[in-house]
Amino acid sequence: MKKAIPTFLYLACFAFYLCSCSWQKAQVTEGLFDVYAPAPYTGAAFSMDEKSSAMRASIQIRKNEKETWQLEGIKNDPIHSDNHGESLNTSNANIAYRFKRFPVTGSFDYFSKNIISMWGVGIGLDPYPFIRGTVGVNSRHIEAGITAYLNMSQNTSTNKINWISHNYEGMMSGYEDHAGTVEGKYQEVKFNGGIGGFINYFPIKSIAISYAPFLYRPWWDDEVRDYEVSFRFPFIFTQYFGASVLIAKHVQVSAGATLYLSPAVRGSHWFFDSGIGFVF
């Protein structure tokens, strides 16, 4: 019995090794990828009473524009098989983001404040479902915090890839490589996410002057057509500048502009954002 256990562990590890040596990778030679930009988020954006909570249902309205951002300096890393079979050398990746901002975003947020600390959670549609969480501080004159965001979307891309599949074919055949090229339009479900922050200054209790930076990366899993690509999709950094007012303690109206930047995109892009919410 004592010998059977080590033998079983050895066989299990060997089987895991065989499975772990199978992979499929790709180089993207040409690609146009949908990118959904999340709406700006500034926390509660009003001074809450101590040991209180609030809920907010809101709609954000944004200028509906589609722009193509050509990505610069993206290269496909080489792909080499372990058994010296198929291989792909370093190559240029002609890739662009098709930047999309959905004109209307709906969300529901809950905030809870102790003496000065606060936390919040939210859900929404933009146009696909998302969730977010917030921790920070909320005082008479300042609100500041960090937020994490996760969404699911169905993304469309038009791409051309060269792929290699490295598979275990059995004890007799060993490992074999397969290679090919695929091109055309393709849809796949993606999870995307990011992290950001916000600072609100309250010159009076019902007015907020806001700044909210946010960093996120489209095509989070670095996969195209279920193949692992040999580069990382570049991130996008947004900065929102705006103001909001809470009318009669229940109606919150906001307006501002968002700056979009990326290390792989030349120049910057500005968009207008506005919103209205009901606080209860």
Q: What is d(CA 106, CA 277) in angstroms, rounded to the nearest whole number?
A: 10
d(CA 105, CA 45): 18
**What is the architecture, at CATH level 2, of domain 23-279?**
Beta Barrel (2.40)
What's the pLDDT at 166? 83
Q: What is the pLDDT along the chain (280 residues), one digit of tens a residue?
A: 444 455 555 555 544 444 446 789 999 999 999 998 889 999 999 999 999 999 999 999 988 777 899 999 999 999 987 666 788 999 999 999 998 888 999 999 999 999 999 999 999 999 999 999 999 999 999 999 999 999 999 999 999 999 998 876 655 556 788 899 999 999 999 988 999 999 999 999 899 999 999 999 888 889 999 899 988 999 999 999 999 999 999 999 999 999 999 999 988 889 999 999 999 9
Domains of the chain by residue range? 23-279
CB atoms within 10 A of CB 19: 9
Cα–Cα distance between 178 and 83 in angstroms, integer? 12
What is the per-residue pLDDT for 267? 86
